[in-house]
Amino acid sequence: MAIELPWTNFKTPKRPAFVMGTSPSILDEPLHLIDESAQIIYLCNHAWKALDMGLLYKCNGIVYTGLSSWVHQLDGLRKHDAIPKFYSDLVVNSREFKEQSSMYDRYYLYKKAMHNGNGLKDIKNGWLPSNIEDGIGNTGSVTLDMAMICYLLGYKKIYLIGMDLDYTALNPYFCESSSHNYKMSGPVVENGTRHSIHMSMCLMSQRLAEQGVELVNISRGYKPEQYNNSMTMPVDRLENILDGVVKPKAIGCIVKGTDPLNKHDIDQITFVRSKVDKLIISCPDADMQCVMNALRFVDGAIISNDEQHALEQLRQEYPKDSIRIFDDTEYVQYNPV
């Protein structure tokens, strides 16, 4: 059975916390800017699929409040036993957890059950817990649950990403989801938006600001104009938050000719990806670009006629990073800072 970790062992970093939900805008976020060795990232519910999809390479914790979500996503979650978890007592005190939890799982326990019976411990009523033992009350969202935990742990800046609150898209998630996920979100959606959670989020931001803590929504898909203008919170973008914080990265580019993909190409892609932070393939046409974009170790593909044209495109997209062009013989071009 899984092992509970004591909160006294938790050491709060002085850096901000990024709390990631599962909204579609995750696919549009410049996640390549995140230096996982420097940023603190918590993934909520099946946001751990960002690891499976190669959108992220590590995180600092995975969060579950609801038992139903944990049970339905358990098979995929088992691949991430090594990552610390944050589980509510709704999960941990269940029969399913006792029978199905992995013996390799390690988790911090937070209270949700029996802490909101009279409705007073609710962020919409202005309530804030003073310590983790109080329980975190009702926030309406697992992402906001983790934001509350971050506040209690001592983080001074908390950024929400993948918190669009927009269900107008056919798939309201960044990854392929089950009928369970749709069923769970459907009943509380009003005309494609989630007004109740939006109210909780804005009120939490305002209450935390009174305590000297910033709660900011940096999700690309968040559209505050869809809601009552009297309920607002700070917004920003990931690239703005990390500007000046992220160290320059090495952008590798392989210039691919018109020949079909072969074993030499695969070996080269594997080798180059181990030497750089991000790998881009320069392709002669759109058909080859589609093929390259589908390869696991390729972070993106561009269309260019020659090395110089590829270099110009990459300099424009990555003005602060160094670019390494690879053909049969590697050479290095450094961008001016």
pLDDT value at position 190?
A: 56
Closest CA relative to residue 158, chosen from 119, 244, 216: 216
Q: 130 is in which domain, residue-wise?
A: 3-242
- Same domain for 156 and 275, yes or no, is no
Angle, in degrees to the nearest 10, between helices 142-153 and 195-210 = 10
CA distance to 2, 38, 43, 134, 155, per residue, from 49 (Å):
21, 21, 9, 31, 25
pLDDT at residue 3, as a whole number: 95
Answer with the one of 208, 242, 276 that is the final residue of a domain: 242
Number of domains in the chain: 2
Place 128 in a pLDDT band, splitting at 50, 70 and 90: very high
- pLDDT exceeds 60 at position 185: no
Give the position of tokens 């505050």.
224
Q: Are residues 198 and 289 in the same domain?
A: no
Instruction: Give yes or no for residue 116 having a pLDDT over 60.
Output: no
Strands 214-217 and 250-255, sheet pairing: unpaired
Shared domain for 310 and 206, answered yes or no, is: no
Higher pLDDT, 54 or 190: 54
Confidence check: pLDDT of 337 > 60? no
What is the token pair recorded at 96?
């399913």
- Under 8 Å between Cβ of 324 and 330: yes
Banded model confidence at residue 308, pLDDT cuts 50, 70, 90: confident
Last residue of a domain, one of 198, 216, 242: 242
Based on the domain organization, do 263 and 312 belong to the same domain? yes
pLDDT in the model for residue 180: 59
Give the C-alpha separation, 198 to 218, whole Å. Answer: 14
Q: Determine the Cα–Cα distance for residues 133 and 92; give it in Å rounded to an integer.
A: 15
pLDDT at residue 183 tops 50:
yes
pLDDT digits (tens, 9 = 90+) for 145-154: 999 999 999 9
Kindly state whether residues 68 and 170 are assigned to the same domain: yes
- Give the lowest-confidence range in 65-69, 166-170, 177-181: 177-181
Instruction: Report, as an integer, the average pLDDT of 117-141.
Output: 84
Do 16 and 157 share a domain, yes or no?
A: yes
Q: What is the CATH number of the domain that holds 280?
A: 3.90.550.10
* Pair 254, 218 in one domain: no
Range with top average pLDDT, 135-149, 219-233, 280-294 = 135-149
How confident is the prediction for the chain on average, in pLDDT? 85
Q: Do 232 and 260 reside in the same domain of the chain? A: no
User: Are 162 and 209 found together in one domain?
Assistant: yes
76 alpha-carbon distance from chain centroid:
17
- pLDDT tens by residue, 60-88: 999 999 999 999 999 999 999 999 999 99
Which residue, of 242, 273, 302, is where some domain finishes?
Answer: 242
Task: Quote the pLDDT of residue 159.
Answer: 97
In this structure, the answer to whether residues 178 and 47 fall within a common structural domain is yes
- Is residue 310 located within the same domain as residue 187? no
Same domain, 310 and 185: no
Q: What tokens appear for 45 in the block?
A: 């519910």
CATH of the domain at 69: 3.90.1480
